[in-house]
């Protein structure tokens, strides 16, 4: 069987408050149970040779720069070692540090990942931690996958929350999520779009006329 591509986001490993914030199905305060559940879901679905794209917030809020840096890095590496998939890419979220501190954890680290040529498809897929209102290729049928919202935002057009709180606490196959989004027609591109914001007169930086 050929390697498959999976998408996930917002695992928030080690983040005790995530249990209550996002109604995760473990006992209150049982962060070990939450981490075990999320890793089990990854390992049950994603084969070692598959590719997993994680759209940010691998760990929850942690100290990556101060006195707790070494413990945070140790915890991150210990969790990564429990995931059997060898090929994991990260699209950085707001709780992820800079790429230098992520060395050895992920094959690649991106700010935004824009890809074409995924298995069986030709449309562009724009992956970002944050939900975007518009994205590259939107009028040509491009898809947008994001995290950050934890299921709190309604799906819009060919965009979708790929986070664990929307997909039974685990990754989803790229083919599956794109197959669903492909049923939605891309927005029509008007030749001259109606103005949606008022014309403004700037109040600063104007040169006084004499």
Gap between the Cα atoms of 106 and 188, Å rounded: 38
Task: Give whole-number Cα distances, 7 to 151, 197, 199, in Å.
Answer: 15, 35, 40
How many Å apart are CA 157 and CA 144, to the nearest integer?
9
Instruction: Identify the architecture of domain 5-181 in CATH.
Output: 4-Layer Sandwich (3.60)
Note down pLDDT in tens along the chain; length 210 residues. 678 999 999 999 999 999 999 999 999 999 999 999 999 999 999 999 999 999 999 999 999 999 999 999 999 999 999 999 999 999 999 999 999 999 899 999 999 999 987 766 788 999 999 999 999 999 999 999 999 999 999 989 999 999 999 999 999 999 999 999 999 999 887 666 778 888 888 877 666 665
Which phi-psi region, left, alpha or beta, contains residue 157 (left: φ > 0; alpha: ψ -120 to 50)? left
* Residue ranges of domains in the chain: 5-181
Exposed/middle/buried for residue 184 (C-beta within 10 Å: 0-12, 13-18, 19+): middle
To the nearest 10°, report the CA torsion of 139, 141, 145, 149.
Answer: 50
């Amino acid at each position: 069987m050929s390697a498959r591509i999976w998408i996930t986001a917002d695992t928030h490993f080690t983040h005790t408050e995530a249990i209550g914030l996002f109604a995760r199905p473990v006992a209150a305060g049982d962060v070990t149970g939450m981490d075990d559940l999320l890793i089990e879901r990854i390992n049950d679905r994603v084969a070692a040779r598959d590719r997993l794209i994680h759209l940010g917030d691998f760990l929850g809020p942690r100290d990556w720069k101060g006195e707790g840096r070494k413990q945070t890095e140790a915890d991150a590496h210990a969790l990564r070692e429990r995931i059997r998939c060898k090929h994991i890419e990260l699209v950085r979220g707001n709780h992820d540090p800079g790429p230098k501190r992520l060395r050895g954890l992920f094959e690649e680290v991106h700010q935004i990942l824009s890809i074409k040529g995924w298995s069986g498809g030709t449309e562009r897929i724009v992956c970002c931690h944050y939900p975007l209102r518009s994205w590259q290729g939107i009028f040509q049928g491009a898809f947008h996958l994001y995290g950050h919202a934890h299921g709190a935002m309604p799906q819009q057009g060919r965009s979708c929350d790929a986070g664990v709180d929307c997909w039974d606490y685990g990754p989803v196959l790229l083919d599956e999520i794109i197959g669903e989004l492909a049923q939605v027609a891309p927005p029509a591109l008007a030749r001259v779009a109606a103005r949606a914001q008022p014309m403004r007169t700037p109040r600063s930086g104007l040169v006084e006329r004499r």
